Amino acid sequence: MAWMLGALTALALAGSVYRVPIQVADSLEVIQRVIPMPSATAAFIDGLHNSPTMLRPLKEVRTRLLVQAGEALGGRYHLVFRGYHAIAGAILIALFVWVCRARTWTDVAALTAALAVLTGMHTFVGLFREAFPTNHYLIVAVSTLATFALAQSRGGWLIDLAAIVLLASAALSFESGLLVWPVAVAAYASGLRGISKRGLAAMTLLVVLYAVFRVGYLGKQGAGVGERGTGFGAGALTEAEQIERFGNRPLVFYAYNVATAAASVLLSQPQVGRFTVASAWNSGSLPPVFIVQIGSSLLTSLLIAWYAISRAPAGTRRWREPAMLILGAVLAVSALMSYAYAKDEIISTAGVFYAVAAYVAIRGLIETHRVGVAFSPVGAAFSPVGAAFRRPTATWSAVLLVVISLTVTSAWAIRSAGLHFRLRHGAFEARAEWAYILSPTAPQTWPKDSHTRQVVSRMRDEALLHPTVAPAMLPKWTEQWWGED
Amino acid sequence: MQRWITLALSLGLALPPAVVLAAFAVSGATALATGQPLFWPAQPVTLTEAIGMHDTAEIVRQIALGANPNSRYDTWDILKRYQHVSVTPLEAAVATRERYLFEMLVAHGALVTPEDARTLHCFAVQEHAPDIAAYLAERFPPPASCEGVQMPW
């Protein structure tokens, strides 16, 4: 049943993701760069040196391989690029189901709710709405979940090797790929031994080598104040405004970004560093999207907090359990990675592990109620729902609990539907960008190389020939419930 | 009693997401099979409706597939709320007040003759589209008067 739920989620996701055309921004430039390259190795080497701040050689390699696959299929680039994205999404869902390990019917109920949390998180959209031309945030999310799955396994040298390969490939795809390492460390600290101490040591060595290679050998720089525009308070700061306000005291700015990135995962506010709820309130209207998002996140975070500070029947502290420790580690590191500017995608992996923690907490909620066990008084004080548990026979408390559960998961279900709404918006925008490519009035902007021009022309045709719904055609209420784009 | 509470709690937790999940799974499967999802599929629109919705990709697609950028097209409830109008693509671009749409149409074959320019200029003034009025003024002398000019509305 759990796998059937996973399959349905993957199907729903694939249907919407596949409709999004290959995008132009942050994507076509990479595609055009790798086409004339003689080999994947050349693409890898180019990826080592083509930016003073970024080290993403596997992005170039992956792009080149996908272009070649598209050519091999007779110019079906949409099928290859968008199919790759949809399949990567299906793998993410499969890994999520795998690490949740639903065994009973009540586990399946918890998993259903957790899948809505996963797909309803505002950070989840970023894994699918854009691609560069492959979405490296999604690669990181998949790699970290796979690492968790490896840590849950029985172990062995092959598992260690797989974990090392995952770390290397994720880190060379995107800087956030280093998140694989804290996941492995936290999993080990929580008692999982699938990845051995030796494997962990090798991964640690790899992280050190990466840092030395990146900074010492390649001389890549980190981001600083004014790197790119970001949200601040109820508004946003341009690059120049950041330098003007925080150029002399960058730590204040960094602290704001780190704190708000973590809060964004737990409370759905601020988003991209900006308290959008405050600006909506100031403008005199508070659309239901804010109540749905903040309400569902707040109650779910409270549930996770209750679970984390309660004790298992064996008396052990539950915050030491794998899902809780890993969420803490990923959230902390992701927030630190957001120090220079806020971006939902940077915290998207934390959003995935938030959903895993939600699953564990929901399962704990059902289990606690089912067996009527006593739990931490601190936890009970933390949640009025928890207090009701201590009188498991009280019908009113049970009814209240069911109503609250129904309300919260309804909110997550609404948010989950919003994923598809946002992907429709993404599809429209990605398709619109192609209208300006190979413009008849600007032949000077066309690719010089005929082969590249042929590939771009084919991609353009594929994007333009598949109509998408225009946001103006969507009912007005959709923006009220899922937010303006 | 305890069993019923557990059942009710499990159902309360699982039912809303399961309903949404099933609905979008069917929609996703339909999208993969037929090219359009059940929820929010693409709607057929005329060229001027695409212009009204700033749908640049659809504009380019329709012209590439043979739509005449100088003909009149029906437009429902987009340029004028709850009204049906029949306009040319350039008039629709004026109604959106977006110069980039106007320029895109010209780039894809829409013709601006001196006679059209007078009408479009007057229409741009009426619709508060100064960017497009300026575009036209750069190429044609602005009309001294808009008296007698037949406007789309």
pLDDT digits (tens, 9 = 90+) for A163-175: 999 999 999 999 9
pLDDT grade, residue B1 (50/70/90)? low
Region A400-412: mean pLDDT is: 93
User: A402 and A350, same structural domain?
Assistant: no
User: A119 and A22, same structural domain?
Assistant: yes
User: B36 and B56, same structural domain?
Assistant: no
Hey, what are A370's tokens?
């089912």
User: A126 and A10, same structural domain?
Assistant: yes
Q: Is the pLDDT of residue A334 over 80?
A: yes
Residue with tokens 């929609």: B27
Tell me whether residue A432 is exposed, middle or buried, using C-beta atoms within 10 angstroms of its C-beta: 0 to 12, 13 to 18, 19 or more: buried
Bridge partner list, A271: A274
Upper half-sphere CA count for residue B114 (Cβ side, 13 Å)? 2
Give tens-digit pLDDT for A42-61: 999 999 998 888 899 999 99
User: B54 and B108, same structural domain?
Assistant: yes
Cross-chain Cβ contact B5/A402 below 8 Å: yes
Domain that holds residue B58: 47-139
Q: Provide the mean pLDDT of chain A.
A: 91
Angle of the A348-371 helix axis to the A322-337 helix axis, nearest 10: 160
Last residue of one domain, picked from the residues A352, A387, A422: A387
Cα B118 from Cα B106, distance rounded (Å): 16
Provide the number of structural domains found in chain A.
2
User: B67 and B119, same structural domain?
Assistant: yes
In a domain, A152, yes or no: no
Q: Is B130 on the interface with A (CB under 8 A)?
A: no
pLDDT at B78: 84
Nearest to A424 among B2, B6, B40 (CB): B40
Cross-chain Cβ contact B52/A16 below 8 Å: no
In a domain, B144, yes or no: no
User: B122 and B54, same structural domain?
Assistant: yes
In a domain, A216, yes or no: no
In a domain, B83, yes or no: yes
Region B24-53: mean pLDDT is: 95
pLDDT at A266: 96
CA distances A358 to A194, A353, B7, B92, B146, Å, are 23, 8, 19, 50, 66
* Residues A8-47 as b or e (16 or more Cβ within 10 Å = b): bbbbbbbbbbbbbbbbbeebbebbbbbbebeebeebbebb
pLDDT grade, residue A151 (50/70/90)? very high
* Residues A343-369 as b or e (16 or more Cβ within 10 Å = b): bbbbbbbbbbbbbbbbbbbbbbbbbbb
In a domain, A47, yes or no: yes
Cα A88 from Cα A135, distance rounded (Å): 9
Nearest to B6 among A370, A428, A466 (CB): A370
Other CB atoms within 10 Å distance of the CB of residue A194: 22
Q: Is the pLDDT of residue A413 over 90?
A: yes
**Closest residue in B to A11 (Cα–Cα):** B25
pLDDT at B124: 95
Q: Which of residues 70-129 of B touch A (CB under 8 A)?
A: 78, 104, 107-108
Region B78-87: mean pLDDT is: 86
pLDDT grade, residue A82 (50/70/90)? very high
User: A383 and A404, same structural domain?
Assistant: no
Give which of A58, A68, A59 is closest to A29, Cα–Cα.
A59
User: B85 and B113, same structural domain?
Assistant: yes
Contact A272, A255 (CB under 8 A): no
User: A251 and A375, same structural domain?
Assistant: yes
Cross-chain Cβ contact B17/A108 below 8 Å: no
Nearest to B32 among A15, A393, A405 (CB): A15
User: B90 and B32, same structural domain?
Assistant: no
Q: Is B134 on the interface with A (CB under 8 A)?
A: no
- The CA distance from A461 to the nearest CA of chain B, in Å, is 9
In a domain, A157, yes or no: no
User: A378 and A399, same structural domain?
Assistant: no
Hey, what are A151's tokens?
């840590």
pLDDT at B4: 83
Between β-strands B73-76 and A235-237, what pairing exists: parallel, antiparallel or unpaired? unpaired
User: A306 and A398, same structural domain?
Assistant: no
Contact A352, A278 (CB under 8 A): no
**Closest residue in B to A116 (Cα–Cα):** B17
User: A399 and A359, same structural domain?
Assistant: no
Contact B51, B90 (CB under 8 A): no
- The CA distance from A295 to the nearest CA of chain B, in Å, is 16
Last residue of one domain, picked from the residues A369, A387, A405: A387
In a domain, A207, yes or no: no
Bridge partner list, A230: A237
pLDDT at A390: 52
- Under 8 Å CB pairs connecting chains A and B tally to 174
Cross-chain Cβ contact B21/A116 below 8 Å: yes
Output the CA angle A306-A403-A288, nearest 5 degrees.
Answer: 90
- The CA distance from A38 to the nearest CA of chain B, in Å, is 33
In a domain, A413, yes or no: yes
Provide the number of structural domains found in chain B.
2
Give tens-digit pLDDT for A207-230: 999 999 999 888 888 888 888 889
Domain that holds residue A59: 1-134+391-475
Tell me whether residue A165 is exposed, middle or buried, using C-beta atoms within 10 angstroms of its C-beta: 0 to 12, 13 to 18, 19 or more: exposed
pLDDT grade, residue A485 (50/70/90)? low
In a domain, A196, yes or no: no
Region A319-344: mean pLDDT is: 95
Q: Which residues of B touch A5 (CB under 8 A)?
A: 18, 21
Least confident of A94-108, A376-390, B11-25, B124-138: A376-390
Q: Which residues of A touch B20 (CB under 8 A)?
A: 116, 413-414, 416-417
Residue with tokens 């693509």: B89
Nearest to B13 among A109, A398, A436 (CB): A109
Q: Provide the mean pLDDT of chain B.
A: 92
Cross-chain Cβ contact B24/A441 below 8 Å: no
User: B85 and B20, same structural domain?
Assistant: no
- The CA distance from B153 to the nearest CA of chain A, in Å, is 22
User: B102 and B135, same structural domain?
Assistant: yes
Region A448-460: mean pLDDT is: 94
Q: Which residues of B touch A108 (CB under 8 A)?
A: 14
Q: Is B38 on the interface with A (CB under 8 A)?
A: no
Region A420-429: mean pLDDT is: 95
Give tens-digit pLDDT for A353-403: 999 999 999 999 988 876 554 444 444 444 444 554 555 456 788 888 899
Cross-chain Cβ contact B40/A420 below 8 Å: yes
Hey, what are A84's tokens?
């790759």
Nearest to B12 among A406, A428, A439 (CB): A406
In a domain, A68, yes or no: yes
Last residue of one domain, picked from the residues B41, B58, B73: B41
Cross-chain Cβ contact A467/B42 below 8 Å: yes
User: B34 and B51, same structural domain?
Assistant: no
Cross-chain Cβ contact B28/A440 below 8 Å: no
User: B67 and B87, same structural domain?
Assistant: yes
Which residues does A454 contact at the CB level (< 8 Å), separation at least 6?
Answer: none
User: A320 and A436, same structural domain?
Assistant: no
Contact A272, A230 (CB under 8 A): yes
pLDDT grade, residue A238 (50/70/90)? very high
User: A417 and A349, same structural domain?
Assistant: no
Give which of B143, B45, B48, B46 is closest to B105, Cα–Cα.
B48
Cross-chain Cβ contact A470/B61 below 8 Å: no
Hey, what are B36's tokens?
């359009």
Chain B interface test: which of A1, A3, A4, A8 (most B C-beta within 10 Å): A8
* pTM score of the predicted model: 0.92
Cross-chain Cβ contact A116/B20 below 8 Å: yes
ipTM over 0.90: yes
Which residues does A448 contact at the CB level (< 8 Å), separation at least 6?
Answer: none
H/E element, A237: strand A235-237
Query: What percentage of residues in chain A have a pLDDT greater than 70?
Result: 95
Q: Is the pLDDT of residue A465 over 50?
A: yes
Helix or strand or coil: residue B74? strand
3-state DSSP helix/strand/coil % of chain B, to nearest 5? 60, 5, 35
Chain A interface test: which of B26, B43, B49, B55 (most A C-beta within 10 Å): B55
Region A240-251: mean pLDDT is: 91
pLDDT grade, residue B77 (50/70/90)? confident
**Domain at B106, CATH number:** 1.25.40
Last residue of one domain, picked from the residues A335, A369, A387: A387
User: A410 and A275, same structural domain?
Assistant: no
